[in-house]
Structure 1
Amino acid sequence: MVESVGGRPGEMVGSDASHDVNDAVKFEISALRAEIASIRATLSDFGADTYQRVSKNAEQAAHYVQDEAVSVAGAIREHPATATTLMTVIAGIGFAIGYLVATTNLEQKQAWYRRYY
């Protein structure tokens, strides 16, 4: 064992061991920080690529919707009577479906009240 002058036996060895442990911990922390920086850079690149792809697809979708809207508007301008008839039929079908759902729902609520009262 190595002894320090004026100290207790083994004090120097313990001190060297704690410095080795501290150095090892510092090295591990610096390695982890470097790994985190690498992961951040990778995710940043991935996020930028994903953003560019999503942006491009959204732009294409917007152009497609705009072209279709222009096409529908043109068809409505050329055939206003047909468009009005079509919208009236669609509205009537929607009203009928809503009415049937509401009356069915009302009958179920009345049946529930009849069971308990």
Structure 2
Amino acid sequence: MAQTKLNVVEDTVENQIAELRSQISSLSKSVSARAGTLSNEASEFVDEASGRLQRAAQTAAQTVKAQGHNVVEAVKENPGTATSVLTVVGALGFALGYFVATAANEQKSSSIYRWR
């Protein structure tokens, strides 16, 4: 009698293990199919984004090229004005750099005494 109950328990456990293996196999197939679908969707998204990025880069390059051409033409037509503008911009840049460096130097020297 004890042997019979033991056989019944073994059969029940074996059946449950077989059922669990079947469920695991089914879940594995389902996950694999879903991963394949997601992979395809991601690949399509990357391809579409790459195309859009390439078109945007081409458009930007064409715009920069056209604006550069316009600047060159304006400089050719008005060399004196272009020279004056570049001189003023250079002088302003120099003055701004000088004032920033002076302010930084003053701040550095005053901070030495502040911490002592």
Q: Distance in 1 between matches of 2:58 and 2:27?
A: 46
Show the counterpart of 2:67. 68
Give the letter aligned to residue 99 of structure 1.
Y
Show the counterpart of 1:48. 47
Show the counterpart of 1:82. 81
**Which ranges of structure 2 fall in alignment gaps of 5 or more residues?**
none
Give the letter aligned to residue 34 of structure 1.
A
Instruction: Kindly indicate whether residue 22 of structure 2 is the aligned counterpart of residue 23 of structure 1.
Output: yes
**Which ranges of structure 1 fall in alignment gaps of 5 or more residues?**
none
Pairs aligned (count): 112
Show the counterpart of 1:11. 10
More helix by share: 2
Matched residue of 1:75: which SS? Answer: helix
4+ long deviations beyond 3 Å: none
Q: What do the CA deviations read for 1:71-104 (whole angstroms, capped 9, x no partner)?
A: 1111111111111111110011011111111111
Show the counterpart of 2:58. 59
Once the 2 structures are TM-superposed, how far is the Cα of residue 116 of structure 1 from its aligned partner?
3.5
Show the counterpart of 2:95. 96
Once the 2 structures are TM-superposed, how far is the Cα of residue 115 of structure 1 from its aligned partner?
2.1
Q: Distance in 2 between matches of 1:102 and 1:90?
A: 18
Once the 2 structures are TM-superposed, how far is the Cα of residue 16 of structure 1 from its aligned partner?
1.4
Q: Distance in 2 between matches of 1:115 and 1:55?
A: 55
Q: Distance in 2 between matches of 1:101 and 1:17?
A: 79
Q: What do the CA deviations read for 1:24-57 (whole angstroms, capped 9, x no partner)?
A: 0111011011111111111111111111111111
Q: Distance in 1 between matches of 2:69 and 2:76?
A: 10
